Structure 1
Amino acid sequence: MKNFKELGVSKDLVKGLKDLKIIEPTQIQAEVISVLMNTNTDLIGQAQTGTGKTAAFGLPLLHRINPKVEKVQGLILCPTRELGLQISKQLFKFTKYTDKVFTEAVYGGAPIEKQISALRRPTHIIVATPGRLIDLVKRKAVDLTHVKTIVLDEADEMLSMGFKPQLDEILAYLTAVENKWLFSATMPQGIMQMIKKHFSPGAHKIEVSGRNVVNKNIKHQFVLCDDVEKLSVLMQFLKSDTKARGVVFCKTKDAVQKLSKQLQAQNVKADAIHGDLKQIERNKVMRAFKNEKLRVLVATDLAARGIDIDDLAFVVHYQLPDKEEYYTHRSGRTARAGKEGISLAIVNSKEMKSIRYFQKALNIGFSQIRGKR
């Protein structure tokens, strides 16, 4: 496989990557960069989170920015504040040795005035959640007429959060764009419609093939038990390695709150994140988890969007999700950057048919672990 220099990435960017210990391109990086480095084109990439997508689209995007032109030239849309901040941080780190490229992240749930004044400074790339971007355009706080490249990251997540109308509106508005790049872990109907409507028929399609998509460093396991035994099975699992940290998923915020209290009562350093938390409370919990003051995060699928924490040893499905893409997204929180991880489902006999379904649909092997009887 070619290295970044051979893929055409400038030596100053390669130097920035080296500082981040990014030396060998991942599969998605190698395939995407070799297409995007030399041509203006539409591209559809299917890849999981944790495969290095930010560099895959970020490096070709940075190559297209003219730092001397103080206009917004690139736009990245993503589902959550967390992911937006993460992308803008990475772009900043990539450009450590290059001419300054200014990136600004804008998202809902934060004061818009502050973002408007930040955008008055020279800005080359905007990373935005779709709703907030539309608000800013309506207030004439942002000029997108010079945007040549638009990236949709985690498009399926944006769709499942109800952003399809906003995405359609933004894509329809940006008529002069030369490059539209879309990345998604799954390709539901809504995404296919969007591609048909807004992307050129000759768009490049790159898929990090199904077998590689569900990360091969994840061990998929399940324990079969009655509902009343789920808590003791989880406790047994947490006691088996008291240093391991991870996320436990439930389907509803009530279940999340209840389980997090039950774990706290058993002296597990745990806390909950769900949709009802104010941003400030959510930040507090996330900070405690990042600083390793918490060992377990109990979360709903929606609340966990955009979480990127290294060294998660496990993901537990305390309640299985309804959709296979949720299973993929949940599991993808562990085993990042080449490490290994466990995805453990604690299931009752009714949920067993979901396990069989996921096994087939996602082409993964589950091993059954015996809970204590």
Structure 2
Amino acid sequence: MENFKQLGVKDNFVKAISELNIIQPTEIQNQVIPLLLQGNTDLVAQAQTGTGKTAAFGLPLLHRIVAKSKEVQGLILCPTRELGQQIAKQLFKFTKYSDKIFVESVFGGVQIEPQISALRRPTHIVVATPGRLIDLVKRKAVDLRKVKTVILDEADEMLSMGFKKELDEILTMLPAIESKWLFSATMPDGIQKIVKRHLSGQAIKIEINKKRQVNRNIDHQFLICEEKEKLHILIQMLNADPKARGVVFCKTKSAAQTLAKQLQAKNIAADAIQGDLKQVERDKVMRAFKKENLRILVATDLAARGIDIEALAFVVHYQLPDKDEYYTHRSGRTARAGNRGISLALITSPEIKQIRWFEKTLGISFKQIRRSK
């Protein structure tokens, strides 16, 4: 389809998303939106981060909400605070010209009382991390008895964070449920078990071609060097364009923390987000980065889930990811809102095999660059 109106999206939502420069549907949106607008159904969709999933499930969900009713009718489960806040923010923007649909984001790592207070207001959709949602249910702060649609976003990440028990518990406490929509980048055994246990045998299954998922405005590059040379090359690159801002990815928490300190020692405004940070510390780093008090964010793959910052010139893979979907997620931090961006991998000679693998599985092309003298 060429536009969202042809997919069946109401004019008031089309007007709102057009102002966000969401004009031409992505593949996941093309396939999912018409199906979900038809009526009650269970759906299993395999698609990477950064492919437009929020609009793919968010627009059909908004169509299903009865604004005059004050009950929670939609539930979205996601792995991290940042992703939850991002989803809630997007849904709010989608409703600019529609009846007021109220969305509340709740998550762990912060005091629960303000969230309990917020949920006393009329709330139509709750976006939640699984653990915090169960805490709120036990305190009778949120009523899920009228929820008709539940969405699991980035289900594989929720499993990898140890939320299987919580997901099973939540999915069995929804007496009025009519539709269950699961979105996941990968389909490990744990996801298959959830699908088999909680979704109907007639659930529609959709898998988006990996080779169509990577943003075409990204220039993929790699530079071959020794491991001990990476820091010097990264600093050289950053000094060559002092105004350019970006994210540098590491595989481990300790590597991210060490690299951030090394960059700080070279007077580069950098800091790290990784899993061991307390929520208040993480929030402080993200605020500084968004306000441009920090130039470089050093991140691990899981910690970077849900961050949404525009105008980033580049991402650097200081350590290559193990999975191709992680590469898609990492590189998708740049080239937003129609801009071009650079995804640079600093690799050792043996890792060229992994670059060729990404080219093959993701349908992208890498350009080798040489280090400057």
What range describes the TM-score normalised by the shorter chain of this pair? over 0.9
Per the TM alignment, residue 130 of structure 1 is displaced from its structure 2 partner at its CA by: 0.7
Could you tell me whether the CA contact under 8 Å between 1:152 and 1:181 is conserved in 2? yes
Q: TM-score, normalised to structure 1's length?
A: 0.92
Q: Distance in 2 between matches of 1:359 and 1:7?
A: 32
What residue is the counterpart of 1:102 in the other structure?
102
The code of the aligned residue for 1:93 comes to K
What residue is the counterpart of 2:306 in the other structure?
306
Distance 1:364 1:17, change over 3 A: closer
Per the TM alignment, residue 76 of structure 1 is displaced from its structure 2 partner at its CA by: 0.4
Q: Distance in 1 between matches of 2:2 and 2:357?
A: 38
Other structure's SS at 1:173 match? coil
The code of the aligned residue for 1:157 comes to E
What residue is the counterpart of 2:174 in the other structure?
174
Q: CA-to-partner distance for each residue in 1:207-257, whole Å, 9 max, x for gaps? A: 331111233333332222112111111123223433322111122232222
Could you tell me whether the CA contact under 8 Å between 1:74 and 1:126 is conserved in 2? yes
Q: Distance in 2 between matches of 1:51 and 1:326?
A: 13
Distance 1:311 1:134, change over 3 A: same
What residue is the counterpart of 1:143 in the other structure?
143
Distance 1:67 1:220, change over 3 A: same
The code of the aligned residue for 1:234 comes to L
Is residue 2:7 matched to residue 1:7?
yes
Could you tell me whether the CA contact under 8 Å between 2:155 and 2:191 is conserved in 1? yes
Per the TM alignment, residue 350 of structure 1 is displaced from its structure 2 partner at its CA by: 4.7
What residue is the counterpart of 2:369 in the other structure?
369
Q: Distance in 2 between matches of 1:154 and 1:119?
A: 24
Q: Distance in 2 between matches of 1:90 and 1:137?
A: 25
Could you tell me whether the CA contact under 8 Å between 1:48 and 1:332 is conserved in 2? no
Q: Distance in 2 between matches of 1:90 and 1:358?
A: 30
Distance 1:23 1:319, change over 3 A: closer
Q: Distance in 1 between matches of 2:122 and 2:312?
A: 37
What residue is the counterpart of 1:217 in the other structure?
217
Q: Distance in 2 between matches of 1:214 and 1:99?
A: 34
Identity across matched positions, percent: 70
Per the TM alignment, residue 13 of structure 1 is displaced from its structure 2 partner at its CA by: 2.0
For structure 2, list consecutive stretches of 5 or more residues without a partner in the other structure.
Answer: none
Q: TM-score, normalised to structure 2's length?
A: 0.92
Is residue 2:76 matched to residue 1:86?
no
Per the TM alignment, residue 341 of structure 1 is displaced from its structure 2 partner at its CA by: 2.2
* Farther-moved stretch of structure 1 (215-224 vs 111-120): 215-224
Per the TM alignment, residue 75 of structure 1 is displaced from its structure 2 partner at its CA by: 0.3
For structure 1, list consecutive stretches of 5 or more residues without a partner in the other structure.
Answer: none
Q: Distance in 2 between matches of 1:351 and 1:321?
A: 11
Could you tell me whether the CA contact under 8 Å between 1:289 and 1:297 is conserved in 2? yes
Q: Distance in 2 between matches of 1:231 and 1:356?
A: 24
Other structure's SS at 1:220 match? strand
Q: CA RMSD in A?
A: 2.1
Could you tell me whether the CA contact under 8 Å between 2:48 and 2:325 is conserved in 1? no
Per the TM alignment, residue 321 of structure 1 is displaced from its structure 2 partner at its CA by: 2.7
Q: Distance in 2 between matches of 1:140 and 1:240?
A: 56
The code of the aligned residue for 1:88 comes to A
Per the TM alignment, residue 336 of structure 1 is displaced from its structure 2 partner at its CA by: 3.0
What residue is the counterpart of 2:285 in the other structure?
285
Could you tell me whether the CA contact under 8 Å between 1:50 and 1:337 is conserved in 2? no
Other structure's SS at 1:327 match? helix
Per the TM alignment, residue 357 of structure 1 is displaced from its structure 2 partner at its CA by: 4.2
Per the TM alignment, residue 191 of structure 1 is displaced from its structure 2 partner at its CA by: 1.9
What residue is the counterpart of 2:340 in the other structure?
340
Other structure's SS at 1:79 match? coil
Q: CA-to-partner distance for each residue in 1:72-122, whole Å, 9 max, x for gaps? A: 110001111111111111211211222211111110011112111211221
Distance 1:29 1:119, change over 3 A: same
* Farther-moved stretch of structure 1 (71-80 vs 36-45): 36-45
Q: Distance in 2 between matches of 1:200 and 1:317?
A: 40
Other structure's SS at 1:37 match? helix
Q: CA-to-partner distance for each residue in 1:293-340, whole Å, 9 max, x for gaps? A: 222101122221211111222211112233333333222222234433
Query: Across the two proteins, how many residue pairs are aligned to each other?
Result: 373
Could you tell me whether the CA contact under 8 Å between 1:65 and 1:73 is conserved in 2? yes
Q: CA-to-partner distance for each residue in 1:9-61, whole Å, 9 max, x for gaps? A: 22222232233333332332222211111221111222232222212111111
What residue is the counterpart of 1:328 in the other structure?
328
Q: Distance in 2 between matches of 1:305 and 1:11?
A: 31
